[in-house]
Amino acid sequence: MFFFVVSGESRRTVMGHAKASTSNNQQSKPMASASVIQVTKENFDAEVLQSTVPVVVDFWAEWCGPCKMLGPVLDEIAEEKKGAVKVAKVNVDEAGDLAVEYGIRNIPALFYFKGGELKHKSIGVQPKSDIVKRLESMD
């Protein structure tokens, strides 16, 4: 059993148990613009590790308040930096295997990749300027 601590909150939530239920086994609605890539175990290698541009991966969940605050910031970055960087999102409730593989314990968690390697990680809501600066420094 895995626990995630939501940054800025003192409560703990058990992965998979706080997720809002969906009917008919439908996947939840993505919390992102069309420029943000939804990543799963199946496409992680192709979209993140084999990317020719820097990638920021947001590990998030629908029930996470700080994740919802960070979402619009990442949407803006994805639109403004389209082609120069990738913004990807991993829903930890739907892709728990990736969360485990990358040791995610707190969300939101931003992991920065370039050339298939993890270069930096940050936990919690980050200012847009810090995220952009980190991505630009990886070019």
Of 117, 121, 124, nearest to 103 by C-alpha is 121
In the annotation, is 67 catalytic? yes
Of 30, 8, 49, 130, nearest to 90 by C-alpha is 30
Catalytic residue among 32, 36, 67, 70: 67
> How far is 90 from 41, CA to CA, in rounded Å?
9
What the block records as the tokens of 27 is 């996947």
The Cβ-side half-sphere exposure at 79, using a 13 Å CA radius, reads 10
Range list of H helices, 2-95:
44, 65-80
Catalytic residue among 6, 15, 64, 73: 64
Residues marked active site are found at 64, 67
